[in-house]
Amino acid sequence: MIGDIANIATAIAVLLAAGGLWAQTRARKFELALVYVQQYWKIEEDLAREGPLSAATPNGYRYLRLCEDEFDAARQGWIDISIWRIWHDGMRSELKVLHPDQLTKFEQLHLCMTGAEGHSPTACPGLHTPGLRRKVSWWFERLLGS
């Protein structure tokens, strides 16, 4: 009887600890996403003054580097899956104006933009083979309703 109560208490404690860790990890992912969003808006303001997006302009190059950094963060599982879906679709929409040759210096963007039309953000060729961290992270996020 006491052993059963101890087992139940232990199970509850483990679940609470796991839930706390998951919430903390998710908060960290959203904080990192906020940093990227702030960088995006700084670049976007400069791009608006510069004209159409081009890899040949300083701010166009900055934007493409930011996108490549976001791919790296997503590939590592550092970005929440719900945010990645929005970013991925937004990038594909904005980058359609560029010829794929302008993206050759940006391997992940190039793979994404030359990949199948309408591919899933979570199965994007630019993410390469998913690592264990991203698989586990995004699996939990899907499971818990992100």
Quick count: other Cβ atoms within 10 Å of Cβ 3? 7
Per-residue pLDDT for 146 more than 70?
Answer: no
Give residue 86's domain range.
2-143
Could you tell me how many residues make up the chain?
Answer: 146
Per-residue pLDDT for 139 more than 80?
Answer: no
Quick count: other Cβ atoms within 10 Å of Cβ 126? 24
Tokens of 121: 């953000």
| pLDDT tens digits for range 53-81 | 889 999 999 999 999 999 999 988 888 88
Between 134 and 78, the more confident residue is 78
Domain count, the chain: 1
pLDDT of 39: 96
CA torsion angle 91 92 94 97 (round to 10): 140
Between 11 and 88, the more confident residue is 88
